[in-house]
Amino acid sequence: MRVYFLYPDRNDDPNKPLPAHADHLLRDLALAPIIAAMANGDQFIAATVQQVLLNSLTDLTQITYRQAALQDCLNHPNVIHALYQIPIKAFELKRKRWLGLFGMHYPSSILSEARAMLIAYLDLLKELRQLADQHRAAFQSPAFSRFFAMIQQELSDDYLVEIEQHLRQLSFRDGILVSAGLGRGNEPGDYVLCKPNQPQKNWLQRLIDPTPSYAYTLPPKDEAGSRMLGDLRDRSLNVVADAVAQAATHVEGFFKILQRELAFYVGCLHLAKRLYALQMPISFPQPLPLTQPYFAAKGLYDVSLALVSQQPVIDNDIEATDAKLFVITGANQGGKSTFLRSVGIAQLLMQCGMFVPAISFSANVCSGIFTHSKREEDVTMNSGKLDEELARMSEIIDQLRPHALILLNESFAATNEQEGSEIAHQIISALLDSQMKLLFVTHLYNFARRWWRMQRTDTIFLRAERQSDGSRTFKLRVAEPQATSYGADLYYQVFGEVAQVASDESTAA
């Protein structure tokens, strides 16, 4: 049986390695709170979610396939949780009752344990079939419609009855019937386990049946004879034991796939529940083709910040048609970095087929998502901050393909204003010429002013709002860059009224 919840087919490798820049994404986009919320204490879900999140999709068909499946999950969360519990129960049963088939050496033991596993698994398959019968009509997505149809077809009533009959026969309560031949030197061989010719007769039938029967009973102390019969039994059961063990392993493999395919969607349900509790909106985004630059968001917020603060957070409304460069300036601690994270997270979630933290969201898919943020000084003193920044930028450039998204946060600020602005201008110009999409949070006024004067149609300027009294709204608006980032506000905030009085006296003098 095949399970295709994450992809319409199996052409994509579900276990492909994480991208080389995965650690930077996890750190710069603050993905840890999101993964923790999705996992809800389940380490398997945490590992699966991280794998899926960081290997985002670019195929619109695959993205919308997952969106439809997730919409079904949000509409019927109890069914999805019940489905996910089936493989959990299977693995818990195995953990409690069996040590594993591959550690056994005797076919009779292998057969006995494999049969016991299949009996336990059969009950779970019946539970799966019951869920399919009860809920198939309520699910609309291609993923779940196909899955439930497959369960009903391959786990039909006749099939389940036949499996039960086979498992009863494999108990061999009345012994086994074996045929054998004689080989060279009259050595026995060609052992074949045979199906009983007829059902076991009751005592009355045996009493009146004139057909002679022959039997030989081993003496109680005939250890050699007992070993020979045991060897004969194991040789006869070898092929059957192998087949039953493979069947048990096959069913277990199905449960493993079912668990992995559902883990991502269960994680999405956990995250949605947390955001509903915070009264923060979610919506399914509209992904657009790779080559169609577009960005529009209403009520976009930083979901990581909401999860950490456990309260509603400020959102933003932005619309930019054909924009490839977003230059984000404005007051310190005005929400610029938070907005940058919110965009990166929303893009990542959209390209995983998930809902996004916004009232509405639409953007073109990107060939990759990359982040470049300022880092602490190199404690080993092997390089300066600017060297380290440029080295990381070089690593990113080596991985880029056309139409990638790059999020730059205070990049190239480890040198003076003039040099940093020139470096930023050269690098960003080259990236735009290579069909990249960039969001750049910066205090490099010379750079921002230079690009503002160019009046390029593919560039939009956003500025963090600051009220006249110095308070921040944490909202971003389309606006011309300013020559100040209002660092004095922070200075007075830290040093208090004394610094303000001193400043006023100095100005008066």
Give the whole-angstrom CA distance, residue 78 versus residue 393: 46
Give the whole-angstrom CA distance, residue 340 versus residue 293: 17
Segments of 423-471 assigned E as strands = 437-441, 459-466
Give the whole-angstrom CA distance, residue 240 versus residue 245: 8
pLDDT tens, per residue, the chain with 509 residues: 666 777 776 555 556 788 999 999 999 999 999 999 999 999 999 999 999 999 999 999 999 999 999 999 999 999 999 999 999 999 988 887 655 544 456 777 777 788 888 888 999 999 999 999 999 999 999 999 999 999 999 999 999 998 888 888 777 776 666 667 777 776 766 767 667 655 556 656 666 666 666 666 767 776 776 676 666 666 666 777 788 888 888 999 999 999 999 999 999 999 999 999 999 999 999 999 999 999 999 999 999 999 999 999 999 999 998 999 999 999 888 899 999 999 999 999 999 999 999 999 999 999 999 999 987 765 554 667 888 899 999 999 999 999 999 999 999 988 899 999 999 999 999 999 999 999 999 999 999 999 999 999 999 999 998 888 888 889 999 999 987 766 666 556 666 655 554 555 454 44
Instruction: Yes or no: say if 414 and 424 are a contact pair by the CB < 8 Å rule.
Output: no
Give the whole-angstrom CA distance, residue 486 versus residue 503: 15
373, containing H or E segment = strand 369-373
Per-residue tokens: 325: 């460069």
Dihedral angle over CA of 107, 108, 109, 114, nearest 10: 80
The pLDDT of residue 290: 94
Crossing angle of helices 223-277 and 32-39, in 10° steps, is 120
Q: Is the dihedral of CA 376, 380, 384, 387 positive or negative?
A: negative
Per-residue tokens: 382: 């092997």
Distance of alpha carbon 106 from the chain centroid: 40
The pLDDT of residue 158: 93
Phi then psi for residue 284, to 5 deg, are -90, 125
Specify the 3-state DSSP secondary structure of 435.
coil
Give the whole-angstrom CA distance, residue 42 versus residue 266: 10
The pLDDT of residue 501: 47
Crossing angle of helices 223-277 and 43-54, in 10° steps, is 60
User: Which one, of 86, 436, 100, lies nearest residue 262 by Cα?
Assistant: 86
Instruction: Yes or no: say if 106 and 46 are a contact pair by the CB < 8 Å rule.
Output: no
Distance of alpha carbon 259 from the chain centroid: 12
The pLDDT of residue 231: 67
Per-residue tokens: 84: 């996910």
In terms of Cβ atoms closer than 10 Å to its own Cβ (0-12, 13-18, 19+), residue 457 is exposed
Give the whole-angstrom CA distance, residue 250 versus residue 256: 10
Q: Hunting for tokens 């010719």 — which residue is that?
A: 197
The one-character DSSP state at 363 is E
The pLDDT of residue 414: 86
Give the whole-angstrom CA distance, residue 176 versus residue 233: 8
User: Which one, of 413, 121, 389, 353, lies nearest residue 244 by Cα?
Assistant: 121
The pLDDT of residue 167: 82
Instruction: Yes or no: say if 452 and 481 are a contact pair by the CB < 8 Å rule.
Output: yes
In terms of Cβ atoms closer than 10 Å to its own Cβ (0-12, 13-18, 19+), residue 380 is exposed
Give the whole-angstrom CA distance, residue 471 versus residue 468: 7
- Any idea what the Cα angle at residue 401 is, between residues 300 and 283, rounded to 5°? 20
Per-residue tokens: 170: 């494999």
Give the whole-angstrom CA distance, residue 1 versus residue 256: 12
